Structure 1
Amino acid sequence: MTPLLLLLLLLRLLCLLPLASAAAALPADFTALLASKSSLSDPTSALVAWDPRLSPSPCRWPHLLCSNRSSVSDAHAPAVVASLLLSNLSLAGAFPPALCSLGSLVHLDLSYNSLTGPLPPCLAALTSLRHLDLAGNAFSGEVPTAYGAGFPSLATLSLAGNGLSGAFPGFLFNVTALEELLLAYIPFAPSPLPEDVSSATRLRLLWLAGCGLVGEIPPSIGSLGSLVNLDLSTNNLTGEIPSSVRRMENAMQIELYSNRLTGSVPEGLGALKKLRFLDASMNRLSGEIPADVFLAPRLESLHLYQNELSGRLPATLGQAPALADLRLFTNRLVGELPPEFGKNCPLEFLDLSDNRISGLIPAALCNAGKLEQLLILNNELVGPIPAELGQCRTLTRVRLPNNRLSGPVPQGLWALPHLYLLELAGNTLSGTVDPTIAMAKNLSQLLISDNRFSGALPAQIGALPALFELSAANNMFSGLLPASLAEVSTLGRLDLRNNSLSGGLPQGVRRWQKLTQLDLADNHLTGTIPPELGELPVLNSLDLSNNELTGDVPVQLENLKLSLFNLSNNRLTGILPPLFSGLMYRDSFVGNPALCRGTCPSGGQSRTARRGLVGTVVSILAAASVVLLLGVAWFCYTYHRSHHGGHAAEPGGGGRGSRPRWVLTSFHKVGFDEDDIVNCLDEDNVVGMGAAGKVYKAVLRRGGEDVAVAVKKLWSGGGKAADGTGKDSFDVEVATLGKIRHRNIVKLWCCFHSGDCRLLVYEYMPNGSLGDLLHGGKGGLLDWLARHRIMVDAAEGLAYLHHDCAPPIVHRDVKSNNILLDAELGAKVADFGVARVIGDGPAAVTAIAGSCGYIAPEYSYTLRVTEKSDVYSFGVVMLELVTGKKPVGAELGDKDLVRWVHGGIEKDGVDSVLDPRLAGSSRDDMVRALHVALLCTSSLPINRPSMRTVVKLLLEAAPCPLESKPPKTAEEKPLDV
């Protein structure tokens, strides 16, 4: 060893001596803290101040409190640690066993970190410990049985949101000092509650949501007289709600939703003087609602929706003193509502939809002046809408469609200042739309189709700054279309079919840049079709049939991508533009005898028609050229094959002209072959195009019905994965999707390949990608309930890849364009061309895969791929759904969406970043989802939750409890790749 090296080593030892000396002089508790610090990963340096050199008085170290026996002025006094508060500090590693030596510890909080490994049995021996919170970590294994025999002083035990396994630890009810037990969202094996839980007489909070409970709720639950909050929701509990719950005299909240409970709602709940919230929705409860439940003096919220309840609503509903939120939709309730309903309670939210309730709408519903949402759709209500509702200025959402309501709408109802949805369709309402509608500045959807409204639409309807949908079909409106309608730049749907409207379309329709549907069929409209309609970028449904329109078909309409196009039965003249001359559009123009294809017999042609003729000639010449080129190409191809080998010939063929042999690899039972697929690869069937290739829609006739599939044809000679591995994206996608079975992962039916030509055949998703729907101008079609469901579906698909596949699969290109939507807007994750299977740790790549705006910040400099990279990308997708913005774009300036959201919140608050197309009543739900998105897009990977946790957080943030999903099928079992 050189003298210089020896000197440096000596200096280093001298520097460490003060630390060693100071640590040796510390009381035992603080020595244990230093040992714990050394065993934990501390990426945010939260514990850096735990250093006797920096702070010689350990009781002044952050995140801890000393007991009164300690002396903060003397570092050598026999101090003891009473509270250790280390929540949400990104700490990682196993539980530090040194903490079990803190004999005076009263409060230990390690919640919402990234701690792993088993729970430490030694904690049960801490005789002073009263509060233990280990929630939101990644602890695994079973709950130690020592916990049931120890903890003589423990009042609070929270293990919620960990990855624990084994049977439900019913022995915890033997911890007699326990006041709060929180075991929610832990994947225990299906287990029943103990028959006898009466030992835990001090329990005030029992939170057991989503933890695998089966069997019946034990009657002994009623002996927990101290219980304030009981939550057994989102399990598979069966049997009846025990009548003993009426003995829980201190109960304030009872949550039993999303189980499989049967029988009736027990009587006697009205005697619970402190009961405020009761939710037994999404079960199989039957019978009548007991009359006494509405007499509970403090009952604010009653949710019994999606059950099989029957009979009449009891008259005591009109006497409810504190009821603010009543949701009984989707039951079998009949009869009339008590006329006093609302007179004695501060009603805010009422949903009685999908029952058979009859009679009048009670006039007193808004007596307290607090009613915000009134939903009684699909019932048998009769009579007029009460005039009193027109004075209810707090209303934001009124849905009364498909009843038997009659008479005029109260004048004040048209003008409510906070109302954003007024849905009255499917009744026999009459009268006119009042001009005072101009005062409804928040009105986004006016849905009044299938009634008997008459008169002219008022000009003031064009003064509504947020109007997205005006649906007034099948009424008796007459007069001109208001010219002011053209001023409504927010308009997304306009449906005035089957009225008696006259005159022409308003001038200036180019302002309808968000319009997706225009239906003015079956009226008496005259004049010409505005060429500006062809400039509307997202219009996909245009129906002007059965009117008296004249003039040419504007050639500009060729610019539109239309799924529905109907100009039939008008008085249109001239030559059709070339695109519309084919048989595909034959039915779009019937009943216009003066329209012609090619040359009109009269020889007289308008300027538009002449352009159409020129276009037709050019099209014919172009087609002839293509045919000639194809013929030459085919000759060269067959000549090359016959002289140089080429592809293998079809069996039984051989020789020149044989077709290439397709190799089929099937992953599900299919009833089609390569001919069925190849024959559909026509440019008219292209539904998408990307970096990997084109996607076609193929409609196949099987079993007497049409079946649609999506066919991805990879670019010839391309398809290399974009990560520098040299792997072919075709092989990657086949290897990945061929073995995956999950309802939220797009299904790969089969694949074909022949030489350089590769075809992947998927299930067809009729609503396309989330990106197209959200950013293509149809985002207003997605209300918050739909957006939240898409989040949950996509999160469950990614959670399956990360947690249920062994080894895990990382998608690496999570984005809104790779989330596809089925007919019911259910979401499935797609496009696995750059996916990677990872082992015990992060996988190294040599190039970045992913899309701009979605790539996790650490990915660009580490080139290490983990599940947390997908979590970040999914967080960006969530931000798209919350804000309505693209991940990058001119409207964000030089920022990506994550930085734009952070900047907007800091400058103008949370409301400034929420999608303005969604109504204000979803604000709180959107904010909860925004918080989850911000967690997912944390700059530090360790701070991001797992996808399994993301699913739980989203379910907890649901705008209303989601419908119970079916259990995993055999096609969704854990995967060994």
Structure 2
Amino acid sequence: MAVLGGATAVVVVVWLQFFCFCSSLNHEGGLLLDAKTGLEDPSNELSNWDAGDATPCHWTGVACSGDTVTAVDLANLGLVGPFPAALCRLPNLAFLSLSYNYINSSLSDSALAPCAALAHLDLSQNVLVGRLPDALAALPSLAYLDLSGNNFSGEIPLSFGLFPRIRALSLVANLLTGGIPAFLGNLTALRQLNLSYNPFSAGRIPPALGDLASLEVLWLAGCGLEGEIPPSLGRLSNLTDLDLSSNALSGGIPATFANLSSVVQIELYHNSLSGPIPLGFGNLRSLVRFDASMNRLDGPLPDDIFDGPRLESAHVYSNRLTGRIPSGIARSTSLVEARLFDNRLNGSLPPDLGERSPLMLLDLSDNSLSGEIPASICHRGVLEQLLLMDNMFSGSLPDGLSRCRTLTRVRLRNNRLSGELPAGFWGLPHLWLLELRGNSFSGRISPLIAQGANLSNILIDDNQFAGSIPSEMVSLSKLYEFSAANNMLSGSLPASLADLRELGKLDLHHNLISGELPRGIQWSKLSELNLADNAFTGGIPPEFGELAVLNYLDLSGNLLTGEIPIQLQNLKLNEFNFSNNHLSGPLPPLFALEADRNSFLGNPGLCKASSGLCPVSYGRRYSHSFIWLLRGIFISASLIFVIGIAWFSWRYHKYTKENLAFDKSKWSLTSFHKLGFSEYEILNCLDEDNVIGSGGSGKVYKVILSNGEIAAVKKLWGSSKKDLENVNQPIDDGFEAEVATLGKIRHKNIVKLWCCCSHRDCKLLVYEYMPNGSLGDLLHSSKGGMLDWPMRYKIVLDAAEGLAYLHHDCMPPIVHRDVKSNNILLDGEYGAKVADFGVAKVMEMMEKEPKSMSRVAGSCGYIAPEYAYTLRVNETSDIYSFGVVILELVTGKPPIDPEFGEKDLVKWVSSTVSQKGIEYVIDPNLDSCHREGISKVLSIGLLCTSSLPINRPSMRKVVKMLQEVNAKNKPKIRKNGSKSSHCYLKDPIEFGSNA
């Protein structure tokens, strides 16, 4: 018995040790491991979640109170998988955040129901789909719910009006439809309501939202709202942030807004509001930012709107405001930014403007303001940007600006300013943009300009500056553009300017500059040189031929002598002019063209022929007989070459027909429209003479059918497995994708697929023929200049409507995945149609087959940044690519170009606009009278290419914004009072300052 008892004791001990080992992790740790099991963790962020621990309280993202788990924060860890329902079984879990991951699938009521203690739930920035679950509103403790940045769809459920304790509700940037429901006004404890950027049906703001007495933040931007703003919102006395921007709201701003005593920010921009700003706005003592831009408000600003002691910035621009700028603006003690540009404001500025306010930015451009610039404008010494373009300001520049060392941008173009500039103004240390064009400034350019180390653009054309250009400008190592045309500058061009390595544009035409042209130049980045109408003497330096990127050269109207250096043939000039000088000798051979005749007129010493040009004479180098011998050899070689090509072409055509026509009975045809031809007629026309394009998946043929119709036939061919491996995508995949997508689509801006034919490895897709080819080929060829702005606007609107149809009207939605200018085809009237659906995916299919997203589809320069890194694809990827197409149309440049350096088109446009202004990115082939409309479309393109997908508008919204930039209504009035016969604008949407 003793032995038996001892044995029993040993067994018990072993069993207890085993039990302790298996139970070393408590029950809550086991639940966390269950949750981890259902998630992929590619970055191994949860590597310290270990079953051997006694408690999970020190695991990544886990927080405890005592020994029980109360919070799980797994935000931004790259986790992939469905919502981990096991977390809801943690009995005391009050805080759960899975934001910025790849949580997918849908949220079920059963998965959420156990979360009884949950007070904070953040599932934002994931890829959740389906309808909003009713179970969320049944959680008794839930106070904070953030589901923004997902793909939830359907209407906001009725249960969302029954949250017992909710204080913050955010559904921003989903796919919610229906309207904003009035029952949200029942959530009396709500402090934050964020519903922005959802494709809600057009509807009004529910007046019941005015019952949310505790509300502090109300964001309803981009919600399809229309009608008037309900006055009941004025009852929200605790409101600090009101955003109703980017809707279609009309009527006036309610006078009750004057009761928003706590409001810090009001954003009403991009609506259709009218009427004056309520006078009571002057009582909003806490107002920091007021943005009512992109409306059509009329009437002057109330005189007391800027009296609030905490006012830091006022954005009330682009509203066609009239009247004087209120004197109350000068009484604000906290005004930092004032943007009132592009309105109809008149009168003079308050004389004490800037005296009390720490002004950092003042933009009053494009108004009818007059009088002098206030002397106190930089009294507090922090002004960074002074933008007063296109007004009627007069008088001299205040002397105080010469001591305003914080200035970075000064733009005073097209005013009536005069007098000499304060000497110190030229040398402000942080100033990089100085634009004084179109005034009557006089005096000299001060040598103190050497202290302006950051000067990049000096634009002083059309003034009365005199004297010589100071040699001290050699210190301006960052100088990119120096434009001083139409002044009275004299003396010689300082030799030191030749050392400015960053110089890209030098325009000094119509001055009194003399002496010789500079030599030893280091202008490797110079693209434009205009020294016309001066008094330069001597010869043209041969080193001008080494300016690799120079495309504009004008040396006309000088006293230059000698021959035109043959080295200038190395330049790739789009435009040049040497006329009205004293040049002599023969022309370089590449310049001896009839088309260039006008570039050499007024040079009596240049040798002449009957055409007035100077052909190169080869008679001095070769004998007459030797020349005829060379001609004979050339003619013989050409004849042999032509015969060889003809024989090869005949053999190839015969081989192609024999191979395509084999066993025609086995070809299968699937039609999607009523056809007037057979597959045999298509096969008989696939000759190499009919090839109009080719790509990675095959060739495209132009086929003229017997019934007079023209078709475009894409042939996808793979005769062997090796052939298939050499293309980007298997033939069958691309063929099936395109057939499945285009076969069921009927839209005027989607290319029409008539039928498809297949036989073994050969697949044929037969489309309607688009006679003007692709947008990319036309835009980036020598024919790009024929695309004027109205035509480009029509193309971009057509393409946007096609993509909007795919995203919003197809059920389920379709993502193109390869939007680019080469996949936008143009019909005979330059109507645009989206084409090439070889890599398109149905959203529903991508959710069921995630493996199909195992590689990046798309073209370099068009791929959205988040797609390239994460392979997560949805409609926002197409929107980014379409934004790149918009930038192509505006700039005329391809998405990738050596000119950009390491940047792509998006980054180049963004940085150039930020540093130099919009005019530096607009295609010079476009008429400047369309500048306003072009600027608005450019802004839409930049919005579409936002680095954050949440900031990109839906394609439906893009179409709406483009339609509002209507380029075909009333003629634009030029400054001289005449009307352009070809420039039309319809009060285009304003997206910001033209500065």
| TM-score of the pair, normalised by structure 2 | 0.69
Structure 1 residues 412-561: aligned runs within 5 Å = 412-509=424-521, 511-561=522-572
Structure 1 residues 34-45: aligned runs within 5 Å = 42-44=41-43
Distance 1:864 1:233, change over 3 A: closer
Equivalent-residue separation in structure 1 for 2:364 and 2:396 (angstroms): 18
Question: Contact 1:723–1:846 (CA<8 Å) still a contact in 2?
Answer: no
Structure 1 residues 735-884: aligned runs within 5 Å = 761-762=773-774, 768=780, 803=807, 806=810, 808-812=814-818, 836-839=839-842, 840-841=845-846
Alpha-carbon deviation of 1:200? 0.8
Alpha-carbon deviation of 1:163? 2.0
Structure 1 residues 555-634: aligned runs within 5 Å = 555-596=566-607
Partner of 2:120: 107
Equivalent-residue separation in structure 1 for 2:634 and 2:819 (angstroms): 37
Q: 2:163 aligns with which of 151, 159, 167?
A: 151
Partner of 2:101: 89
Partner of 2:662: none
Q: Please state whether the residue corresponding to 1:286 is helix, strand or coil.
A: coil
Partner of 1:233: 245
Distance 1:69 1:644, change over 3 A: closer
Question: Contact 1:240–1:263 (CA<8 Å) still a contact in 2?
Answer: yes
The residue identity in structure 2 corresponding to 1:104 is A
Q: Please state whether the residue corresponding to 1:568 is helix, strand or coil.
A: coil
**How far does the alpha carbon of each residue in 1:108-148 deviate from its partner, in whole angstroms, 9 at most, with x for none?**
11222222222211010111111111122222222221011
Q: Please state whether the residue corresponding to 1:172 is helix, strand or coil.
A: helix
Partner of 2:360: 348
The question of 1:256 aligning with 2:268 is answered yes
Partner of 2:975: none
Alpha-carbon deviation of 1:171? 2.1
Equivalent-residue separation in structure 1 for 2:168 and 2:741 (angstroms): 45
Q: 1:966 aligns with which of 963, 966, 977?
A: 963
Question: Contact 1:713–1:760 (CA<8 Å) still a contact in 2?
Answer: no
Equivalent-residue separation in structure 1 for 2:407 and 2:648 (angstroms): 75
Partner of 1:175: 187
Alpha-carbon deviation of 1:199? 2.0
Equivalent-residue separation in structure 2 for 1:471 and 1:200 (angstroms): 58
Equivalent-residue separation in structure 2 for 1:464 and 1:645 (angstroms): 64
Equivalent-residue separation in structure 1 for 2:443 and 2:320 (angstroms): 38
Q: 1:218 aligns with which of 214, 223, 230?
A: 230
Equivalent-residue separation in structure 1 for 2:245 and 2:962 (angstroms): 14
**How far does the alpha carbon of each residue in 1:856-913 deviate from its partner, in whole angstroms, 9 at most, with x for none?**
99999999999899899999999999xx999899999xxx989xxxxxxxxxxxx9x9
The question of 1:132 aligning with 2:145 is answered yes
Distance 1:412 1:246, change over 3 A: same
| TM-score of the pair, normalised by structure 1 | 0.70
Structure 1 residues 294-373: aligned runs within 5 Å = 294-373=306-385
Distance 1:761 1:887, change over 3 A: closer
Q: Please state whether the residue corresponding to 1:191 is helix, strand or coil.
A: coil
Distance 1:151 1:868, change over 3 A: closer
Equivalent-residue separation in structure 2 for 1:616 and 1:257 (angstroms): 78
Alpha-carbon deviation of 1:466? 0.6
Equivalent-residue separation in structure 1 for 2:524 and 2:389 (angstroms): 32
Structure 1 residues 376-387: aligned runs within 5 Å = 376-387=388-399
Equivalent-residue separation in structure 2 for 1:22 and 1:201 (angstroms): 51
Distance 1:866 1:179, change over 3 A: closer
Equivalent-residue separation in structure 1 for 2:623 and 2:24 (angstroms): 91
Structure 1 residues 589-738: aligned runs within 5 Å = 589-596=600-607, 722-723=727-728, 725=730
Structure 1 residues 177-196: aligned runs within 5 Å = 177-196=189-208
Distance 1:734 1:401, change over 3 A: farther
Alpha-carbon deviation of 1:832? 7.1
Question: Contact 1:576–1:597 (CA<8 Å) still a contact in 2?
Answer: no
**How far does the alpha carbon of each residue in 1:778-812 deviate from its partner, in whole angstroms, 9 at most, with x for none?**
xxxxxxxxxxx9xx999989985984585635455
Alpha-carbon deviation of 1:245? 0.4
Alpha-carbon deviation of 1:368? 0.6
The residue identity in structure 1 corresponding to 2:238 is S
Alpha-carbon deviation of 1:431? 0.5
Question: Contact 1:730–1:758 (CA<8 Å) still a contact in 2?
Answer: no
Q: Please state whether the residue corresponding to 1:101 is helix, strand or coil.
A: coil
Structure 1 residues 115-130: aligned runs within 5 Å = 115-130=128-143
**How far does the alpha carbon of each residue in 1:186-205 deviate from its partner, in whole angstroms, 9 at most, with x for none?**
22122211123232111001
The residue identity in structure 2 corresponding to 1:540 is N
**How far does the alpha carbon of each residue in 1:78-131 deviate from its partner, in whole angstroms, 9 at most, with x for none?**
951111122223333322642331111111112222222222110101111111
Q: CA RMSD in A?
A: 5.9
Q: Please state whether the residue corresponding to 2:279 is helix, strand or coil.
A: coil
**How far does the alpha carbon of each residue in 1:211-270 deviate from its partner, in whole angstroms, 9 at most, with x for none?**
221111100000111111111111111111101001011111111111111111111111
Q: Please state whether the residue corresponding to 2:424 is helix, strand or coil.
A: helix
Distance 1:262 1:918, change over 3 A: closer
**How far does the alpha carbon of each residue in 1:412-439 deviate from its partner, in whole angstroms, 9 at most, with x for none?**
1100000000000000111111010010
Equivalent-residue separation in structure 2 for 1:692 and 1:623 (angstroms): 44
- Which consecutive residues of structure 2, in runs of 5 or more, have no partner in the other structure? 1-14, 71-86, 657-692, 700-711, 754-764, 786-792, 918-942, 967-995
Question: Contact 1:574–1:609 (CA<8 Å) still a contact in 2?
Answer: no
**How far does the alpha carbon of each residue in 1:538-584 deviate from its partner, in whole angstroms, 9 at most, with x for none?**
11111111111111112222222222111111111111111111112
**How far does the alpha carbon of each residue in 1:588-630 deviate from its partner, in whole angstroms, 9 at most, with x for none?**
111112213679999xx9xx97899879999999999888777
Question: Contact 2:879–2:952 (CA<8 Å) still a contact in 1?
Answer: no
Question: Contact 2:182–2:207 (CA<8 Å) still a contact in 1?
Answer: no
The residue identity in structure 2 corresponding to 1:159 is L
Partner of 1:63: 61
The residue identity in structure 1 corresponding to 2:533 is D
**How far does the alpha carbon of each residue in 1:696-752 deviate from its partner, in whole angstroms, 9 at most, with x for none?**
xxxxxxxxxxxxxxxx9999x999994254699999999999999999x9999xxxx
Alpha-carbon deviation of 1:323? 1.0
The question of 1:410 aligning with 2:440 is answered no
Question: Contact 2:697–2:727 (CA<8 Å) still a contact in 1?
Answer: no
Q: Please state whether the residue corresponding to 1:139 is helix, strand or coil.
A: strand
Question: Contact 1:303–1:328 (CA<8 Å) still a contact in 2?
Answer: yes
**How far does the alpha carbon of each residue in 1:441-468 deviate from its partner, in whole angstroms, 9 at most, with x for none?**
1001000000011110111112201100
Determine what percentage of the aligned residue pairs are the same residue: 43
Distance 1:314 1:227, change over 3 A: same
Alpha-carbon deviation of 1:508? 1.8
The residue identity in structure 2 corresponding to 1:405 is L
Question: Contact 1:65–1:82 (CA<8 Å) still a contact in 2?
Answer: no
Equivalent-residue separation in structure 2 for 1:861 and 1:453 (angstroms): 54
Question: Contact 2:944–2:952 (CA<8 Å) still a contact in 1?
Answer: no
Q: Please state whether the residue corresponding to 1:270 is helix, strand or coil.
A: helix
- Which consecutive residues of structure 1, in runs of 5 or more, have no partner in the other structure? 1-13, 649-687, 695-711, 774-788, 823-827, 899-910, 923-944, 970-977
Distance 1:525 1:102, change over 3 A: same
Equivalent-residue separation in structure 1 for 2:472 and 2:777 (angstroms): 40
Q: Which moved more, 1:41-50 or 1:855-864?
A: 855-864
Question: Contact 1:88–1:113 (CA<8 Å) still a contact in 2?
Answer: yes
Alpha-carbon deviation of 1:327? 0.5
Alpha-carbon deviation of 1:304? 1.2
Distance 1:886 1:616, change over 3 A: farther
